């Protein structure tokens, strides 16, 4: 007698894993929308905590927080890169980020292009984790939250 293996258990496992990942993503998005960003910017969750982006007409500041939304104190444990793409062009511009209290900052003139996309890559040397995320910035929607 031939033994037939059914693909239904495998398909069920894949479906359950997919639904769980969607639920996790939805929970993270829902949790982020309820979080109050400490400096009035936009906040997103990372593997090890949170990143907040605060923009003004002349600068961008990136704050790093742990899972309890406490400011990271050991910024030297993090490697961070940021790249801007203005909505009006396809040009990409790397930001020259400098350490400042609670995070990193860069000069960036957005007076002529108030809408842009900010891609951030952050690596935590302590935990070995790395995250990459994007922020859609449109200063026309609100007043700037902070300046350097």
pLDDT value, residue 138: 86
Neighbours of 125 (CB within 10 A): 12
120, exposed or middle or buried, with CB in 10 Å at 0-12, 13-18, 19+? buried
pTM for this entry: 0.71
Domains within the chain, CATH numbers bracketed = 39-141 (2.60.40.2480)
**Residue 13 dihedral angles phi and psi, to the nearest 5°:** -65, -45
Q: Rounded CA gap, 48 and 108, in Å?
A: 27
Radius of gyration of the chain from Cα atoms? 20
Question: Would you give per-residue pLDDT tens digits along the chain (148 residues)?
Answer: 555 555 454 434 444 444 444 444 444 444 455 788 999 999 999 999 999 999 988 999 999 999 999 999 899 999 999 999 988 887 889 999 999 988 999 999 888 877 899 999 999 999 999 999 999 988 765 544 444 4
Q: Rounded CA gap, 71 and 58, in Å?
A: 23
């Amino acid at each position: 007698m031939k033994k037939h293996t059914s693909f239904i258990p495998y398909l069920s496992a894949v479906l359950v894993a997919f639904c769980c990942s969607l639920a996790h993503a939805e929970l993270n998005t829902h949790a982020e929308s309820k979080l109050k960003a400490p400096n009035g910017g936009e906040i997103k969750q990372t593997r090890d905590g949170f990143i907040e982006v605060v923009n003004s007409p002349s600068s961008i500041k990136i704050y790093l927080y742990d899972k309890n939304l406490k400011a990271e104190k050991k910024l030297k444990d993090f490697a961070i890169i940021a790249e801007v793409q203005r909505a009006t062009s396809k040009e990409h511009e790397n930001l020259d980020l400098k350490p400042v209290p609670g995070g990193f900052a860069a000069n960036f003139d957005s007076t002529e292009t108030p809408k842009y996309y900010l891609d951030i890559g952050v690596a935590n040397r302590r935990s070995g984790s790395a995250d990459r995320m994007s922020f859609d910035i449109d200063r026309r929607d609100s007043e700037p939250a902070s300046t350097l």
